C-alpha cells in the first residue's frame, strides 16, 4: 500500500545501499504510438512492461505532449468506460501490456501531428515496492492511425 511508512523504505534503501536501484529494473518492449491527424489533440501510446521486482508505473512524460496520463479502458456490456488511473501495478517478472483494450498511455495536448514512422520519446517513472524510483527512456515507434488495436489480433491470428 501507499501507506507503507516512508521511513521503512528509506531505511531499506540505506541498508542495501546503491545495489538496490540496480536490482529493480524494468524492461519495455514493443512500444508504439498511434499516428494522429493534423489538429488532433491527443493520441495513445502502448507497450509491454516487465519489472524485475514488484513495482508500479507511476508516471509518463513526453516532449510531444503537454499532459501525459495513464488511462484504463473497460467494457461493461456495450459501454466502453474510460478513466484516468494514478498507477499501474507491475508484478515481478510478469509482462504487463498497455494496449488499446486496457491500460494505455494518453498523450494529450499534442504540439504537432504525430506521423507514422516518427519516433516519440517517452520517459517512464517506475516505483518499486520500497518506494525507489527508476526512470526508463523509451523511443516509441509511430504506427498508422489504422494500426491493429489488439482486439482483432486476438480474434483472427
C-alpha cell at 12: 531499506
SS3 assignment, position 24: coil
Cα(75)–Cα(90) distance, rounded to whole angstroms? 22
Cα(91)–Cα(115) distance, rounded to whole angstroms? 33
Indicate whether 101 belongs to the interface with another protein (CB under 8 A): yes
Residue number, 25 or 59, with CB nearest to another protein: 59
Indicate whether 78 belongs to the interface with another protein (CB under 8 A): yes
Contact of 121 with 108, CB cutoff 8 Å: no
- Please report, as residue ranges, which positions from 13 to 72 form the binding site for another protein (by CB under 8 A): 34, 37-44, 67, 69, 71
Residues that bind another protein (CB under 8 A): 34, 37-44, 67, 69, 71, 73, 75, 78-84, 100-101, 104, 106, 108-109, 144-149, 151-152, 155-156
Amino acid at each position: 500500500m501507499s501507506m507503507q511508512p516512508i521511513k521503512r523504505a528509506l531505511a531499506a534503501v540505506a541498508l542495501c545501499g546503491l545495489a538496490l536501484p540496480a536490482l529493480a529494473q524494468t524492461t519495455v518492449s514493443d512500444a508504439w504510438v498511434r499516428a494522429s491527424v493534423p489538429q488532433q489533440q491527443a493520441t495513445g501510446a502502448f507497450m509491454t512492461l516487465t519489472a524485475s521486482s514488484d513495482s508500479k508505473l507511476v508516471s509518463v512524460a513526453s516532449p510531444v505532449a503537454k499532459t501525459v496520463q495513464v488511462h484504463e479502458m473497460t467494457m461493461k456490456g456495450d459501454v466502453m468506460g474510460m478513466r484516468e488511473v494514478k498507477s499501474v501495478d507491475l508484478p515481478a517478472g510478469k509482462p504487463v501490456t498497455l494496449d488499446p483494450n486496457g491500460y494505455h498511455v494518453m498523450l494529450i495536448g499534442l504540439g504537432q501531428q504525430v506521423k507514422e514512422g516518427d519516433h516519440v520519446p517517452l520517459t517512464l517513472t517506475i516505483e518499486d515496492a520500497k518506494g525507489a524510483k527508476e526512470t526508463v527512456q523509451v523511443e516509441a515507434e509511430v504506427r498508422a492511425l489504422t494500426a491493429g488495436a489488439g482486439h482483432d489480433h486476438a480474434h483472427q491470428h
